[in-house]
A = this chain, B = another copy of it.
């Protein structure tokens, strides 16, 4: 037992019992991995491709996967001198051959194409890559993965449980996952933290006192400055920050999660209660109690992968908020929920309406040319209530163009800077619904989101 910790072994065991793959699970996964390796080799032979290796990478290959997840990453490694085109043709050829024995297959694209298949219930990525001699000489981002795999495999032995605990702990704090939707911690980053700090407990304790700019450089070989809140220099590439995708808020949420856990180490930090969908009645009561204005921009979810969708949704959230602020509406908070078939951008405002009067303050009276231009524009003009001098400046009370946030969004949202697919979808049609009307949205997952929202 570690004397350096107040976290009981019982608690850790209770968590591990739920998340550690059973011996049967492990055997099944190994068997499927072996089968897949054989399938790839057979396919290569069939297609007369002789110079490839098959590599199992990812958490499945390193014994750090959470029970219940069924992800396998199979890398098909080509000699470095292979042309990119050749790699794609021959690599995808092999993958498609393997896919003939799969339940399902889908072409996907990262930096270059790969195949996602469902094979005996496992979610398998078949990824062609180059066999480069070091991670800093890679020809494609995926070429790094085998090096990560080697680094972790050679150091993680005996600490796999700590990795599992940390992954589940991060899930409980909603900070696990480096996709652009989550902007949290990747599996590789989690493993490196455990290697660096030595255990789950030590990592939690250290992270409680993290500050933005925290830098960890296991190999002491950093070559660049980074501006992200956490810098974990890639042990296999001195230029790369493994934590580049981690947002400031997820970084802080993790710090907060660690501190709260250390105050009272309980199982709920690993398995938080999942909130129930909010009912109409509760939602209406919350509206009545908050007395703010709730706006929901509703449109059809664009048919693109999350890594394309979410950055565009976050951009839209920002754009809508800026638009409202520009026209004097006070935004309390913004949020995004996306499901099928609809996506909702939520905005909470101090008020969804503003008076007709808007105060326009001009230049100081003594800056003659500008001041006179300003006065000429407003004095006696239509839609001007009146003017006066305040703090040495001309001030005119003019009619406000948009007195409702809903009207403003309906007229101006499409003029905001939006991502391509989100723009296309919003352009096809969107609706702004307010307050009690939001009860029209019945999706149960949205209702879970809405409970946290109010």
Instruction: Pull 9 A–B residue pairs with CB atoms less than 8 Å apart, ordered by A.
Output: A229-B392, A252-B364, A252-B365, A252-B389, A252-B393, A253-B389, A289-B385, A291-B355, A350-B355
Task: Tell me whether A332 and B350 are in contact in the complex, defined as CB-CB below 8 angstroms, given that A366-B211, A392-B252 are known contacts.
Answer: no
Q: Which residues of B contact A359 (CB under 8 A)?
A: 332-333
Chain A: interface secondary structure?
Answer: mixed
Complex Cα gap A285–B62 (Å): 76
Task: Tell me whether A256 and B389 are in contact in the complex, defined as CB-CB below 8 angstroms, given that A350-B355, A351-B351 are known contacts.
Answer: yes
Closest CB in chain B relative to A404 CB, distance in Å: 11
Q: Is there contact, CB below 8 Å, between B365 and A256?
A: yes
- Residues of chain A whose beta carbon lies under 8 Å from any beta carbon of chain B: 208-212, 229, 248-249, 251-253, 255-256, 259, 289-293, 328, 332-333, 348, 350-351, 354-357, 359, 364-366, 368, 372, 375, 385, 388-394, 397, 403, 454
Q: Which residues of B contact A390 (CB under 8 A)?
A: 249, 333
Q: Which residues of B contact A292 (CB under 8 A)?
A: 355-357
Task: Tell me whether A249 and B212 are in contact in the complex, defined as CB-CB below 8 angstroms, given that A255-B366, A354-B350, A357-B290 are known contacts.
Answer: no
Closest CB in chain B relative to A378 CB, distance in Å: 13
Task: Tell me whether A357 and B291 are in contact in the complex, defined as CB-CB below 8 angstroms, given that A211-B366, A255-B366, A366-B210 are known contacts.
Answer: yes
Closest CB in chain B relative to A205 CB, distance in Å: 13
Complex Cα gap A333–B304 (Å): 50
Complex Cα gap A52–B7 (Å): 97
Closest CB in chain B relative to A261 CB, distance in Å: 14
Complex Cα gap A161–B375 (Å): 32
Q: Name the one of B252, B365, B393 contacting A255, with C-beta atoms under 8 angstroms.
A: B365
Q: Which residues of B contact A365 (CB under 8 A)?
A: 252, 255-256
Q: Which residues of B contact A389 (CB under 8 A)?
A: 249, 252-253, 256
Q: Which residues of B contact A256 (CB under 8 A)?
A: 365, 375, 389, 394
Q: Is there contact, CB below 8 Å, between A366 and B212?
A: yes
Q: Is there contact, CB below 8 Å, between A366 and B252?
A: yes
Q: Name the one of B209, B355, B368, B397 contacting A209, with C-beta atoms under 8 angstroms.
A: B368
Q: Which residues of B contact A253 (CB under 8 A)?
A: 389
Q: Is there contact, CB below 8 Å, between B351 and A391?
A: no
Q: Name the one of B293, B351, B356 contacting A290, with C-beta atoms under 8 angstroms.
A: B356
Q: Which residues of B contact A289 (CB under 8 A)?
A: 356, 385
Q: Which residues of B contact A394 (CB under 8 A)?
A: 256
Given contacts A255-B366, A333-B390, 10 further A-B contacts (CB under 8 A): A211-B366, A252-B392, A256-B389, A289-B356, A290-B355, A293-B355, A332-B359, A333-B359, A348-B357, A350-B354
Shortest Cβ-Cβ A-B pairs, 9 listed? A291-B355, A252-B365, A292-B355, A211-B366, A291-B356, A248-B392, A290-B357, A252-B389, A252-B392
